[in-house]
Each structure stands twice: as C-alpha cells, then as structure tokens.
Structure 1
Amino acid sequence: MKFTTQNPTKSLHLVSLGCTKNLVDSEIMLGKLKEYKITDDATSADVLIVNTCGFIDSAKEESINTILDLHEQRKEESVLVVAGCLTQRYQEELQKEIPEVDIFTGVGDYDKIDELVNEKRSAFTNEVFLASDINERVITGSSYHAYIKLSEGCNQSCSFCAIPSFKGKLHSRTLESLVKEVKSLVSKGYTDFSFVSQDSSSFLRDLGHKDGLEQLITEVDKIKGILTARILYLYPSTTTLALIDKIADSKIFQNYFDMPLQHITPSMLKIMKRGKGVEKLIELMDHMKSKPNAFVRTTFIAGHPGETQEDHEALCKYIEEYKFDRANVFSYSTEEGTAAANSDSLIEQEIIDERADEIGEIIAQTTQESLEKEVGKTFEVYIDGESEEHEYLLSARKIMWAPDIDGEIYINDNELYDENNPQQLEFGKIYTVKITELVGDKLLATVIK
C-alpha cells in the first residue's frame, strides 16, 4: 500500500507491506514525519521507507524485492530506510547483505523514526513499540475507517509461527490508552473501527484480566459518534462463548467473527499446538454461526508436517459443511526457529500445493454461496468512492465487512435521485441499499435510503 498527502519541502515515499498491524505502525511513522510531503514518486523522494513483513517466505521475498527496487529508482542523496518485522528478525544478515540501505530499524522505534532519519542512524530497541498515549497517526486509505492496534507480541506457541521469536510475548495496551485514541479519532470524523492484534482475544491477559475484550466492548459502546466496529484475529483457546455473546449484544460491534482455525482434526490441532479440543472448537464455531446475521471468516494451512491424507480430507469436509463466509488457505512454509521446522514428517511441496488448491476451490464455492445469499436483501453499506471498474459505478462495503478483504459492492442506481432536487451521495457515509444481482464475485446494488 502506498500513501499520498500534502505538505512542505522535503518529500517522503513510504511502502507498507504485510498486515494491517504493520499499517498502523506505518501511519505512526507518517505522523512522526509530518514535515515531509508524501509522494507516490519514488524517484523524486528525499526519504524512502519500507515497512517490511517477515512472516512467511513469500512476504520476505516481497520485502527484499521492494527494498532493491526502491534503491534502483531513488535519486542521489536520498535516504533509504528499512523498518519492521523482517529487519527485526534478520538484523545482522540484512545489514551485511544489503549495504545499499542507509538506516535499519526494527519494530521498537516507530515513534523515533524522525530522530533516526535526521541523524541518519540505525537503531534496534529491544522492546516492541506499543502506543501507550495518543500518537499522531496519519490515517491512510479512508476518511471514516481506522485500525486500532490492541497489543503486540503473542503468548501462543503455534508450531508453524515465528512471530513470538521476534515480536516477543503478549504486551497489551491499557484500556485507557485505547479509549483515548478512539475518542480522538471520533473527534476527527472517524466512525468505523477495526480492532487488531496478533491474538485479539488475549487482550489484557498479560495484565491479569481474562475478559479484556469484553471490557473493551463495554467501553467502546459508550463512545458517542462511533457507528460500527469489528474485531479481527480471535484465537481459539482464548475465545469464550461469553465473548461471542458480548459481541452479539453490542450495538456497535458487528457479528463479525474472524478466527484463524488452521485445521480441524484432533491430531493436527495437537501437532500445530493450537490448544483447543475439537469438540470445544466446533462448539465455538457453531455458537458464532448461531448469532443473527453472523459473518464468519477463517484461515487454514495446507500440508503442515504430519498432516495425513485423512486429515486433509476431514478438513475439506468440514469447510464444505460449515460454509464459511470468507476464508483463506496458505501452503505450509517452513520457518526457521519453529517447532514444525524440526519435524521429520515434512510433506513434499507438490502435495502441499495440491491440497492448498483443493481447499482453495472449496473456499471459492462457499464464498460464492455466501455472496449469492445477499441477492434480494436490503442492508446498510459504507460508500467509499468511485469504483476502479467504471466511473459511473460507486464502490461500497457492507458495514459488517472489514475493508479490503471481504469484498466490494458496486452501486449502479440511486432511487434517492430527483432531477428537481438532486442529492449527491456522500463518500464515507452509510446508506441502505438493495442488492439486485451478483456478477462474478461483485454484488450490484441500488441505494434506497
């Protein structure tokens, strides 16, 4: 994702890779470098920043390629900065292998980026950066929606994941700092929020509270001006039936349940160290689905070491039967430093990819079925702006859905329009629409209220 805005003399080009948690950190860096004019043109920028992702091989490759591409494009005397997860994870190797980079920093110095740029020095703080007070962020990509980061790090020990090795243990923000930040953004006109972290359902557990997310929902529900919110990345062993009920009872939080399952058979959940029995897991998933207008999203890993053909078939069957609204599948990728990397039950890449493709086909079908159910329905959407498809089509998102990942609705008709009293539809506002048809994977809608 690339960013543009206005301002003074020196210019800045920033590329944020990876997840929305990275995006929040990128927005904090933009806030600390407000004196720079932000540009899409890498060739003219005085400062270029890549906020990297170091999660899996494909993400690492994208990060390295982006760094090298920007170095090729940049002008003389410019400063190339590389920050984020990849540099945190491979500090010494990257500094040795990519001498073209002027400043290296990890995940602990986002709030000091202005000092590092001014002094042209690298720094790696031992602790991850965690917003405790309101940090001036430059919210990107939306005039009404913002991501709020709940915590950093993770206390889980999933066999396939290296994140705790370079992000550390769970480190929650205080509830007070979150409420303060949300209120500040509401005062600037933001009405829709997505709360994110590595393991959102563990929020405040490191500070002695097992019901941290429930406390958050209670406090956010009290803030005037918020219209909608959702929580991303629930973890099976720290999500309770009470939390699901709390979300469903909220007037602001949508019945949006995003829980990466990764697998469903007892043997694989044990191998993956996912810490939840199958019966309890299925009970949670069914409880989510029982809520009015529930929307359930998940992710799976295909071909994890130790996965048998029977495990794979059982997973396919569960996905077909549960009918997730949205899901993603990843081919297993060996990450050094993880328990799975030392397994003697690695699976051939060809088989991994075949299994991922098979799961992908099932997901495509269940997603299509979820979209087909919307045809003929009436519900509320946010209108984001003109679509990239055609200037006469507006791009909208169901208020339930998370931005960018759950789909796009095209508005091709407006029943509010009156030639004698033309009403312009406002971007960033909520309208009631009726879904008229599904074309490919895009819903078409008419504004009715």
Structure 2
Amino acid sequence: MTYKVAFVSLGCAKNLVNTEQMMALCRQAGHIVTGDPEGADVAVLNTCGFIESAKSEAIDNILELAQLKDQGKLKKLLVAGCLSQRYPDDIRAELPEVDGMLGTGSYSDVVAAVEELMEGEKAEHFGNIHRTYEDGERIVTTPPYTAYLKIAEGCSNGCAFCIIPKLRGRYRSRTVASLVAEAKKLAASGVKELIVIAQDITRYGLDLEEKATLAQLLKELCRLDFHWIRLHYLYPEAVTDELIQVIASEPKILHYLDIPIQHCNDNILKAMRRRNTKAEIRALFAKLRAAMPDVVIRTSLICGLPGEGEEEFEELCAFLREEKIQRAGVFQFSPEEGTLAAAMEDQVDGEVAARRVELVVDLQSRIMDSYNEERLGTVMEVLCEGFDSQDGCYVGRTYADSVDIDGHVYFTAAGLVPAGEFVKVRITGVSDGDLTGEIED
C-alpha cells in the first residue's frame, strides 16, 4: 500500500536534518511525501523537548493535528523526536490523540511505524540513542542555495542546565568520507551556502577510530564547489590554533563564528559545568579578532541561572559592553527536570530572570545597531533570497547573518536578481536591526 505521509519539523536545524532523512526513507519505500498534513494518511511531527517553550510549541502542534483528525482530514498522528523521547509515559496518559511514537534513537524506523499505524497496529519505537544511523539520503527542504550538513549527533559535554545528552546520547561523529560524499551531492545540486552543524562541532572527529579534526574536515569541504561555508556551534574551550588558522585562511569559510559562552562570571560558569573561565573567553575572542579583524561573533546567553545575583548579572552586562559581541541569543534559565541545575539552591525568581533577559536584549540591540551603523557606506557581499513584494525590494543576507536567527539586507536593483545569486550591495541605511542598500553595478 502507498500512503500519503506529511512531515512537520519543530526546533533546531539538527532536528530538521532528521526530518529530511525520514522524508527520504518514506519516499524510498514508495510513499507520497508532503508538507501539508491536511488530507494525509499519517502526519509525522518531529518535536523539540529541550526547554519549556519548545515543549509548549510541540503540544500546541499535537493539538492542532488532533483537530484535523477529528475533522476527518488526517488519519494517524506519529510523534517523533525529543518530546517523545523525554515524555513517552506522559504522552500515553495525557495525549490520546497521539497514535504512535518514535524516540530519537529510532528515526530510521519511520517507514515501519507509518505502515504499522495504517495497518491498525501499535507503533512505538525507542531504539538506542547512542547508536543511531546518521548517513543516508535526505530530502532537502531548505531553499536550493542553502543546506545544512550535520557532522555529529549527541553531546558528551554534560552542562548542568542541559538535557540534550539524555535525549540525544553521547557525542558521535560521522566519518569524513560520509560527510564529503554528502557534501558533494549538495554542491552538485546547486547549494552555495553550506552550514556545518552539530551540538558542538569543535569536538568533531575526536571520538572516531581514525581520529579526525574539524580543521581537517573543513579543508576537505573547502575543495568542493561552495561559495560560503558557515559554522555552528564552536565551544570556546575546544577552539584550537589550527582551527583558527584554517578559518582565517580559507576564503570560503565565513568569518561568522557561533560560540555559545552562556555567561562570563567564573562561579556561574563553574556551576554550569562549563570548561572555561572569563579570562579564557576574553583571550579567545582577542585571538579570533587578531586573526580575522572582520570576524562577527554570535553567542548564546542564559540569564537567571541559580546563584546569579545582581553582582554576577552586572558583571555579564559589563562584559558584553566591553566585548561588543555582534550577535546574541538571550534565554531565561529553564529549570528542566533531570538536569543538575534544576535541583540547585538559590533559584532566581522567574520575574527577575525575565527582566534580566529584557535588559540584556536591550543592551545587545544597541551593540548590533552600532555594528550596523559602521556598515554604512561600505559594499558587502549579499546572498539574495528573493524579492520582497511587500517592501518592493530584494532581500538577502551578508556573511554576518545566518539563516532565521539574524538580520537581513533589503536592497534595490535595476535588473532581475535571482534567489541564490551573490551580489555586491552598497549599504545606505539601517532599519530595525536590518540593513538597506542598493546593488552595485
């Protein structure tokens, strides 16, 4: 039997890659793959269960799909990913609308689960989260000029606030050969911006029998026909001099580095079980800026971790004012059950933590505005993402702007600029965190 299988992917880009792999498996099995759950036989919802907001989003999506079932517009609902891995008993007890589940160790079982559901059988697959299959085909769902390359799965860092190792298993790298083979296919399909991702790309290859490093992998990727290679995420304590040299010297690797530091206060960093100090973070940033004066650093920050008082928070703000990190994602501490931080003493009041997030976001927006104003009058390379009919101009991104999380450049042009083309744009204005400009002849 051929079934119509709809896929909905929530959460991070790493999750999206798993969704794309499941889509390919279903298509290979002869099923029809779609992104529209209405009218489908089975909807596969690939969830995130990392923090409270992600859990709420997943549950909202489950309830929306359940409405389609009630209306007779969807037959079965299969929930995959982190939410099902983390809360299988709760889903069974409280969400009877869910017909089947795939844990994070069982993405490759999606075809069996779909067919089991449609044959009236129970479909619950929870394989070993430390031994998943990471290679294989994908149906790439990003625009044709941009794609992700997930180089490793899981995480072994054990940060006190993070549940990911318990949901995704220990860190395991894919082989250089498999990654280069996949990257060649992406390049041949027209991908121009390759985004290298994992929970921590800096530890790539250290767990392999034939040891490899991120620096070695990047050299191989730079031989392929990509225009931009973008890196997410580099943990500060594992950034080596060799890696800095490769990033600085390879023209295809963007000088945009996503380095999650989470905080700067040494006591907070220690409580987080991070492996670096404030002085070491400062030294790394200085080294990166010396090697690449145009480097744009993006980071992640947590406000309200247990033990963060006014003094520690002010230290973080002073650090940000001094370092002028151009991009930052700022999050309120979420006490996730099963993590060390959830059981810590000196929990910070939720309203206080939320206010601190607002203050840091405001501080960082001023830093970003300053960075943008310094771009005025310069000519920047922009990857065109299409024409924005609402604003009556083209929209794209510079090397300083990653997909979905950073800003854009809105620019005018006398002729047609296809999506996926790189153009030179003279920056003429700043608008709500974005840049405006006009194409250079």
Q: Give the TM-score band, short-chain normalised.
A: over 0.9
Q: Which residue of 1 aligns with 2:388?
A: 387
| 2: CA distance, partners of 1:425 / 1:298 | 32
Match of 1:442 among 434, 438, 441: 434
- Equivalents in 1 of 2:179, 2:293: separation in Å? 28
Aligned to 2:107: 110
CA contact (8 A) 1:111 1:129 kept: no
Give the corresponding residue for 2:283. 283
Structure 2 partner of 1:25: 18
- Tell me if structure 2 keeps the 8 A contact 1:109–1:129: no
Asked if structure 1 preserves the Cα contact closer than 8 Å seen for 2:332 and 2:354, the reply is yes
Secondary structure (helix, strand or coil) at the match of 1:205 reads coil
Residue of structure 1 equivalent to 2:327: 326
- Relative to structure 1, is the Cα distance of residues 331 and 115 closer, same or farther in structure 2, using a 3 angstrom cutoff? same
Deviations 1:12-47 (A, max 9, x none): 332211111011111111212225555554332222
Q: Distance in 2 between matches of 1:97 and 1:129?
A: 29
Change (3 A) 1:399 1:358: closer
Give the aligned partner of residue 15 of structure 1: 8
- Does the 8 Å CA contact 1:151/1:203 hold for their aligned counterparts? yes
Alpha-carbon distance in 2 for matches of 1:31, 1:204: 26
Matches within 5 A, 1:9-408: 10-34=3-27, 35-39=30-34, 41-74=36-69, 75-76=71-72, 78-120=75-117, 121-127=123-129, 130-133=132-135, 135-207=136-208, 212-223=213-224, 225-290=225-290, 291-387=292-388, 389-390=390-391, 392-408=392-408
Q: Residue 316 of structure 1: CA displacement?
A: 0.3
Alignment check: 8 A CA contact 2:397 2:407 kept: yes
Q: Tell which deviates more after alignment, 191-200 or 87-96.
A: 87-96
Shift of 1:117: 0.5
Alpha-carbon distance between aligned partners in 1 of 2:161 and 2:425, rounded to the nearest angstrom? 42
Distance 2:363 2:81 in 1: 34
Q: Go from structure 1 to structure 2 and tell me whether the alpha carbon gap of 1:62 and 1:80 turns closer, same or farther (over 3 Å shift).
A: same
Shift of 1:195: 0.6
Q: CA shift at 1:141, angstroms?
A: 2.8
Once the 2 structures are TM-superposed, how far is the Cα of residue 125 of structure 1 from its aligned partner? 0.7
| 1:5 equivalent in structure 2 | none
Q: TM-score, normalised by structure 1?
A: 0.91
Is the CA contact (8 Å cut-off) linking 1:413 and 1:445 kept in structure 2? no
1:92 positional shift:
2.3
CA distance in 1, matches of 2:386, 2:3: 30
Hey, what's the Cα distance between the residues in 2 that align with 1:237 and 1:209?
A: 23
1:356-377 deviations in Å (ceiling 9; x for gaps): 1111110111111122222211
Deviation at 1:208, TM superposition (A): 6.0
Distance 1:207 1:432 in 2: 41
Deviations 1:307-360 (A, max 9, x none): 121110010011111111110111111011111111111111121111111111
State how far apart, in whole Å, the 2-side matches of 1:250 and 1:130 are: 32
| Contact kept? 2:304, 2:348, Cα under 8 Å | yes
- Structure 1 range deviating more: 110-119 or 306-315: 110-119
CA drift of 1:295 comes to: 1.0
Q: Equivalents in 2 of 1:309, 1:400: separation in Å?
A: 32
Taking a change above 3 Å as real, the CA distance of residues 88 and 429 of structure 1, as seen in their structure-2 partners, is same
| Mean CA deviation greater in 124-133 or 284-293 | 124-133
| Amino acid aligned to 1:123 | H
Cα distance in 1 for residues equivalent to 2:34 and 2:209: 44
Q: Secondary structure at the match of 1:406?
A: coil
The residue that corresponds to 1:6 in the other structure is none
Q: Which amino acid aligns with 1:298?
A: T
2:380 counterpart SS class: strand
Structure 1 residues 171-194: Cα deviation after superposition (integer angstroms, max 9, x where no partner): 111111111100011111112100
Runs of 4+ in 1 over 4 A off after TM superposition: 35-41, 128-132, 208-211
Choose 121-130 or 225-234, whichever is displaced more.
121-130
Judge conservation of contact 2:381–2:424 (CA < 8 Å) in 1: yes
Q: Is the 8 A contact 2:8 2:35 kept in 1?
A: no
Q: Which amino acid letter does the alignment assign opposite residue 39 of structure 2?
A: S
Farther off after superposition, 39-48 or 257-266: 39-48
| 8 Å CA contact 1:80, 1:103 repeated in 2 | yes
Secondary structure of 1:28's counterpart equals: helix
| 1:206–1:359 CA distance, 2 compared to 1 (3 A) | same
CA contact (8 A) 1:257 1:288 kept: no
Identity %: 35
- For 2:211 and 2:285, the matched residues in 1 are separated by 20
**Helix, strand or coil for the counterpart of 2:368?**
helix
- What is the match of residue 419 of structure 2? 427
Say if 1:228 and 1:252, in contact at 8 Å, map to a contact too.
yes
Gapped regions of structure 1 (runs ≥ 5): 1-8, 418-423
Shift of 1:440: 2.4
Partner Cα separation in structure 1 for residue 331 and residue 381 of structure 2: 32
